[in-house]
Each structure stands twice: as C-alpha cells, then as structure tokens.
Structure 1
C-alpha cells in the first residue's frame, strides 16, 4: 500500500495516486513498515510461471523476476509472508516509482481504467510520463530513476518482439 503522503518527497499534499500509479505497474519502492504475519516468503516466488501467461503478461513477470533478483532483500521484507502481510511502501525518492507500466490492448475492456495502448509494457519517457513503444501514447506516472544496467535488462525482456510473416 502506498499512501498519498509517501508518493513524493516534496509537495506531498498535491500528489495524485491515480496519476502516479496504475494497477499492475511494476513499482520500485522502499518498505516503510510491514504489518501482518512473520513467516518467511519471497515476492518473486509468488509470481506465476511466465510460460503459463500470455506473451504480454509473461514479459512483465520476467521483468518482475529480474527486478526482484537485482534488489538486495532486507530483514524486514524477508520476514513477512506475501499473502498475510500488508506492506506500507514509499516512493518519495527519485530512484523510486514505476519501473515498467502495464499497457492494455484497446479492446480489452479495461480501457477506462488502464488507458489504451498497443498491449505492451510502457517504458519511461520522463520522470512524470511513460510511453507505449507501439502507439507512442503517453501516460502520467511517478517514474523511478532506474540505473542504466537495470533499464537495459527490462527493455530487452519487455519490448514486444516484431511479428514475422511466414
């Protein structure tokens, strides 16, 4: 859970959650507090197998696993189970925010919630916008300042592969 006052370091009262994150976005955040169960579990182990998902979701699952593997776990995160805990998160640092946004195809029935894209993951365009690489449509987000090496891993695993005709 990300509270409004934990979205930005400045202008906390003016932060709009709907313009910062959308359901399904891959967010890099700092755990402020963990409330709930204390048995062991890891977030990356609760993700579905990428091969069992549609190509768009599978690429996002692969990216999420890459991010989880690149982030060092802390004792407060590894001591809480995914299903029985509530995580209070903060993105109030420049390095924190949306890493990869989730795009939806225009006819998926979720256009009003997510916005229509080419059905592929959104990539960072600026610190306040993400762009669909197929349609070039721009969407507001609180974008994380992602290190170049991690961005290269994400881009190589999330960009849609060109269609080839046989």
Structure 2
C-alpha cells in the first residue's frame, strides 16, 4: 500500500539512501547529507501528495538473486564489504509527488512492463514516451529511455539503435531503473519485449518475420527491429 501525505515545493521528502527519486521530485545538489555519507536530500518540486511506492515482487526477486551471487563470490574475511555490496543492491522504494491523488497517473515502478512510443533515436539510446503501465493507460505520458546496452540480452556489442527501433514504433519494455528526474530507464532484452507495432514507408502495419526483422505486407520490404515475441 502506498503511503500518502500532503507536501509543498521544497519539502524534504527523504534521502537517496532510503528512496529512489521519482516524478515531481528532485535531488538537492551539493547537499550536506551526501557529504556526510547519508545520501542526498530528495525534495518536492511541486505542491501535492507525497507517495511512497514499494518495489514490485519482480524487482525484489532480481535484487535478491544479484545479492546472493555477489555474496557467494566474496571471501569470508570480507564480511563488511559484502554487507555493503548487498545493501547497495537492495531495491529501494520510490518517492513521488502528484498534484491530484484521485486523478493521478499510474506511476511506473521497477519491474513494471510498460507500453511506449519511440520519439527519437541516437547512436546510444532511444527516447520514448510511456503510454501505459501494464494495462492502465496514462493521462499524461512519462519520459523514458532505452539505452544501447539494454536493447537485448546477447551480443550487446553488435547492437545498432537504428536497426532496433525507429521513431513512431510502439514498444513493450520493462522498467529497470527510475533513472533521473527526467526519464525512466527501460529494457527490451527479454524475448517478449521490443517492438510490437511499426509502420512501413508505404504506410502499412508491418508484420514480424523474425526476432530482428519486420516486413511490409504491401511492398514485401523488410526492416530491422528488435521484435517482441507475441506468441
């Protein structure tokens, strides 16, 4: 259950040691807490409701697996270092501020599968607008980013962004990090994630022919994509 309270701009919400900063917040620069090793202060950017969202079960499971692997690799006499590494790998709850509690957008959380439209491409990442969280449509989109290292699971050094996505594509992706105050970090590395809709130059909805290609039904021309497996 999310914890809710009313806040105003500038209200101290917590620190990055305890929370991940989400929508409607920012991290105070050059903060004394950070110098003291207690994490930077997270501050409300607007007046509204403070919401603390707990990590999903998927995120907890991923963190636990990562922590177990790290602990197994540690030497016995490095107990303190191992404990620090385990703590760093824990998935923290995220903290957000929304203006209207009842009409608020569903808030993406780590482990959520989202639907997004690609808005622009560079050689290193694709920018997207998140349209749905799970099956819940958003009143206003969140910004997201798919980095080149998060496109697929294997042969990451061979990934080319322009052969994976194009502006206008609709993609299914998983939230892997809250990123910064501007964008969520998304991944399409799993088989069922990637492009689910793309339009060809002829204006037709392309059909998937493999995990890395789609074909125009009119012209039969093929284009590269990181295709989501939908069956």
Structure with bigger helix share is 1
Higher relative contact order structure (alpha carbons within 8 Å, sequence separation ≥ 6): 1
Q: Which has the larger radius of gyration?
A: 2
User: TM-score, with normalisation over the residues of structure 1?
Assistant: 0.49
Structure with bigger strand share is 2
User: TM-score, with normalisation over the residues of structure 2?
Assistant: 0.36
